[in-house]
Amino acid sequence: MASERNDSEPDEVDNGVLAAPSGLETTGIGIVEGATAQVDVSLPTPVDDDDDLLDDEVAPAAVAPAAPERGVTAVSGGSGAAGGSAAAAAGAGRAAATAKGASGASASAAKPGSTVAARSAAEVETAERLRPRTTEITLQSRRLGDFEADRESPDLLTPDRLLDPAHVVRPEPEGAWRHLVYTLSGRRINLGDSKRAVARKALDRRIAAPLAGGAKFVPVLSRKGGVGKTTVTTLLGMALADAREDRIIAVDANPDRGTLAERVGRPSGKTVRDLVRTSGDVHGFNDISQIVARDHTRLDVLASDADPHVSEAFSDTDYQDVADIAAHFYSVVLTDTGTGIVHSVMQATLDRADEIVIVAGLSVDEARLASETLTWLESNGYAERVRNAVVVLNTARPGAALVRADELDAHFRSRVRAVVRVPYDPHIASGSAISFRDLQPETREAARQLAAIVVEGLRLPAAV
């Protein structure tokens, strides 16, 4: 029989106490609510007292509500033996409370086929000795995306959110009478900028728009000399350099004698040939800044050789070397090309071109040559660049034009993306160095419009 009795003490009555408390299961007869039933009782195996508190695990016991006084704990033996067993298990202090809870649980579960889980006194003492772990807590940082929904990240503390518009100091207004009102009111009444100032600042933002990717190459073409190709290159470069924060360079790639550096007024004495010869020794911007010329708008100009026999040797390979160096240090590279469209340098220039500027004069032959240049480009694989090109109608002579400028404008707009008119300016017609600040307002405005249109074209998706 599974319930072995303890007969070691003859004086003791047969009270049903187990001799081997380490037994796992015991079967006995008990009286539950006036009826006799067979009850299976599972007793836990005593656990040795272990000092390693971290390894002790105590399973929570299901404690049922206490049964009435007439509830009987069932063990092996009769009803009287069950009562004696409950009295023997009830000790002093916490052991008595534990036995009472176990007695109620046994009474509530005393049905056929049920199993009662009891906790021993040793387990209770072990549970009381358990203390929370005192290991150090490791702090971990969180990314911005790991914050809870109701918590804000630091990037939400923007000036627009924190600053009170009523206390933000607005810049001084531009405009004669608007600035006068602002001054007389003790800087309390700010009517804002005039329409002209608003338009100028908007144009500045168009020119200064960021350009994605690497350096952008913009060649300026013309199949006829004397129409103002070098002048347009200078005006475009000055307008870009004056409004943008990045570096702009204009390269004189004319195989013949070019005059681009002479339009700047601050020649360095070095030419494109010097850069080709020392290309292997250029390791930083300081090396190239000693070769280029720079004007007050921060436009850098790389001059061509003064000797036409030497400059004729400027080949497509030389241009590629110069272009590679320029692309490393500059954001926009303007190229003042020669009149020979089938020259090897022209071929290398067109292969690198991101946008093309065509210069046409206000005469029948000059306009026709410019239109024929577009046709040649379309026939030689540059049709997409022609559709994104810009035509500049340059007025190189004073007085009224002999041709209808509106007809030329309409003709070229049917073939290219935009057309810009540059008015006559005596400061440019003198042939000396150009000062961007000394230009007539109309000429300076035309150059800025050209720069804005070119930047917008460079920001368009790349031509396939």
Q: Which residue from 253, 233, 250, 249 is spatially nearest to 313, judged by alpha carbons?
A: 253
pLDDT at res. 13 = 46
- pLDDT classification of 35: cutoffs 50, 70, 90: low
Q: Which residue from 23, 21, 29, 32 is spatially nearest to 2, judged by alpha carbons?
A: 23
pLDDT at res. 106 = 44
Domain identity same for 290 and 387: yes
| Enclosing domain of residue 124 | 25-129
CATH number of the structural domain spanning residue 322: 3.40.50.300
Residue 173 lies in a domain: no
Q: How many domains does the chain fold into?
A: 2
Residue 61 lies in a domain: yes
Q: Give me the count of residues in the chain.
A: 464
Residue 142 lies in a domain: no
Domain identity same for 334 and 238: yes
Residue 197 lies in a domain: no
- Please compute Rg for the chain using Cα positions: 48
Instruction: Note the pLDDT tens digit of each residue in 357-377.
Output: 999 999 999 999 999 999 999
Residues 354-382: b if buried by 16+ CB within 10 A, e if exposed: bbbbbbbbbbeebbebbbebbeebeeeeb
- pLDDT classification of 430: cutoffs 50, 70, 90: confident
Q: Which of 85, 104, 129 is the last residue of a domain?
A: 129
What are residue 419's phi and psi, to 5 degrees?
-130, 135
Higher pLDDT, 11 or 377: 377
pLDDT at res. 258 = 78
Domain identity same for 257 and 350: yes
Residue 147 lies in a domain: no
Number of neighbouring beta carbons within 10 Å of residue 39: 24
Instruction: Note the pLDDT tens digit of each residue in 269-321.
Output: 888 888 988 888 898 999 999 999 999 999 999 998 776 556 556 788 889 99
Residue 233 lies in a domain: yes
Domain identity same for 232 and 88: no
Q: Which of 129, 153, 188 is the last residue of a domain?
A: 129
Residue 399 lies in a domain: yes
Domain identity same for 288 and 416: yes
pLDDT for 463 beyond 70: no
Measure the CA angle with vertex 183, ends 181 and 189; round to 5°.
55
Which residue type occupies 398?
P
Rounded mean pLDDT of 18-40? Answer: 52
Domain identity same for 116 and 223: no
pLDDT at res. 425 = 95
CA separation for the pair 73, 377 (Å, rounded):
107
pLDDT for 48 beyond 70: no
Number of neighbouring beta carbons within 10 Å of residue 95: 15
Contacts from 445-450 at CB under 8 Å and sequence distance 24+?
Answer: 446/235, 446/420, 446/421, 446/422, 447/235, 447/236, 447/238, 447/239, 447/422, 448/203, 448/207, 448/239, 448/243, 449/203, 449/420, 450/232, 450/235, 450/236, 450/239, 450/357, 450/390, 450/392, 450/420, 450/422
Question: By the 8 A CB rule, do 75 and 32 touch?
Answer: no
Helix axes 94-108, 79-89, angle to 10 degrees: 150
Domain identity same for 268 and 383: yes
Q: Which of 85, 105, 129 is the last residue of a domain?
A: 129
Residue 9 lies in a domain: no
Domain identity same for 383 and 260: yes
